[in-house]
């Protein structure tokens, strides 16, 4: 139970919105049983609207089919993979791959509506490192782009040269520290003039600062701070030496998030995460400074019930059902008067 709540909390922290679960309910939280097909049926009761969605996967969790059916429209897409995991067909596009006797890709051809439209060729060195990539437009037999790659003795990419008929060409020079971590990336134009430089600083293994300059003028910088458990507690983004946005996290002794703050010139958000240790109910309180609005979510153990308040007034309640594999099975959403407003059902089939 604690593992599931931990997984849900992680997703909540990223989106801070329950809608993320509705968008990707087919994520198997424990990863023990790959999903083959998901069928989603949703009915809204304020306009009597019904929609259906189907997602199919192969046995290595690659999505191979998507279909969405609405009252007045529909959408579908099929994707086919080869045994190497490459896409060979999608909608009207088809791709053909040629490999050498060592199984390394040397040619990729693209067809649109059965007409050959372009190809990419790949050339490698004796260490099977990619050293040249070419893209050719087969309509006009024009070399559209060429990319050349160079490596150091450790096998790290140190230079990438790009030629494009739509631009004048440029090249990247990449530097590493003695631990193999990238510390800078310089971009030069065709006249060997420095166009941009990105730099990276670390505290042992953790990235603590990344910055970028264009034409030798500061453009952006991101700083990172961590607690003693290596959890990110502060991230600040600067644009032209001015703070553009920042978020801060605080954790309790159980390494659970208890506070989240977000700042930028337009939006300020303050979130508190509280826990009832007796039954593991999680409470999320968010305050939006720009609207002076306070929202509160009460999330029951195992994420079976969510009660949402705005400025102390009940707005909606959601009742959720999960299967033993950690997949959502059903969501019922009720308004403040306990009227059913939306009912979503999920059906799954699994690979053996």
Both tokens of 350, joined, read: 């699994």
Is residue 41 within 8 Å of residue 344, measured between CB atoms? yes
d(CA 283, CA 296): 7
d(CA 135, CA 119): 6
Residue 200 in domain: yes
Counting Cβ atoms within 10 Å, is residue 186 exposed (0-12), middle (13-18) or buried (19+)?
middle
Is residue 94 within 8 Å of residue 87, measured between CB atoms? no
Cα→Cα distances 120→85, 221, 266, Å: 18, 35, 45
pLDDT at 132 over 90: yes
Residue 215 in domain: yes
The rounded percent of the chain whose pLDDT value lies above 90 is 58
Residue 189 in domain: yes
Domain that holds residue 203: 174-248
Domain count across the chain: 1
Residue range 196-228, pLDDT digits in tens: 999 999 998 899 999 999 998 999 999 999 999
Residue 302 in domain: no
Please give the average per-residue pLDDT across 93-111, as a whole number.
Answer: 94
Residue range 41-73, pLDDT digits in tens: 999 998 888 999 999 998 888 889 999 998 778
Residue range 226-257, pLDDT digits in tens: 999 999 999 999 999 999 999 999 998 888 88
Residue 183 in domain: yes
Determine the longest span between alpha carbons in the chain, in angstroms: 71
pLDDT of residue 72: 78
pLDDT at 334 over 70: yes
R_g over Cα of the chain: 26
61 Cβ contact partners less than 8 Å away, ≥ 6 residues apart:
34, 35
C-alpha angle 48-37-349 in degrees, rounded to nearest 5? 105
Residue 220 in domain: yes
Residue indicated by tokens 């050349």: 148
d(CA 183, CA 224): 15
Both tokens of 202, joined, read: 């670390």
pTM of the model: 0.74
Determine phi and psi for 22, rounding to 5 degrees: -70, -30
d(CA 281, CA 266): 32
Residue 188 in domain: yes
What end-to-end distance do the CA atoms of the chain give, in Å? 25
Residue 37 in domain: no
Q: pLDDT category, 286, cuts 50, 70, 90? A: confident
Q: Is the dihedral of CA 132, 133, 138, 144 positive or negative?
A: negative
């Amino acid at each position: 139970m604690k593992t599931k709540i931990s997984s849900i909390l992680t997703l909540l922290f990223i989106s801070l919105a329950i809608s993320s679960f509705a968008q990707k309910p087919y994520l198997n939280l424990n990863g023990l049983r790959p999903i083959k097909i998901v069928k989603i049926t949703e009915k809204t009761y304020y306009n009597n609207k019904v929609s259906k969605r189907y997602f199919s996967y192969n046995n290595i969790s690659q999505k191979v089919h998507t279909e969405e059916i609405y009252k007045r429209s529909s959408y579908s897409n099929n994707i086919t993979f080869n045994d190497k995991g490459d896409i060979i067909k999608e909608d009207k596009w088809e791709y053909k791959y040629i490999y050498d006797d060592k199984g390394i890709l040397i040619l990729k051809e693209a067809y649109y509506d059965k007409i050959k439209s372009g190809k990419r060729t790949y050339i490698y060195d004796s260490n099977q490192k990619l050293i040249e990539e070419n893209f050719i437009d087969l309509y006009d037999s024009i070399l559209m782009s060429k990319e050349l790659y160079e490596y150091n003795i450790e096998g790290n990419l140190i230079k990438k040269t790009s030629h494009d008929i739509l631009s004048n060409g440029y090249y990247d020079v990449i530097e590493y520290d003695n631990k193999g971590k990238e510390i800078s990336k310089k971009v030069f134009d065709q006249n060997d003039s420095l166009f941009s430089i990105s730099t990276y600083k670390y505290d042992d293994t953790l990235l603590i600062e990344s910055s970028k300059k264009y034409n030798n003028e500061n453009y952006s910088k991101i700083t990172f701070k961590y607690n003693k458990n290596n959890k990110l507690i502060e991230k600040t983004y600067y644009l032209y030496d001015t703070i553009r946005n920042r978020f801060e996290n605080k954790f309790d002794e159980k390494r659970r998030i208890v506070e989240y703050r977000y700042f930028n010139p337009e939006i300020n958000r303050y979130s508190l995460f509280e826990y009832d240790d007796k039954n593991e109910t999680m409470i999320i309180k968010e305050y939006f400074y720009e609207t002076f609005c306070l929202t509160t979510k009460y999330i029951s153990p195992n994420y079976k019930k969510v009660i949402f308040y705005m400025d102390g007034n009940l707005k909606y309640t959601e009742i959720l059902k999960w299967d033993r594999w950690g997949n959502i099975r059903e969501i019922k959403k009720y308004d403040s008067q306990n009227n059913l407003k939306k009912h979503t059902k999920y059906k799954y089939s699994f690979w053996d």
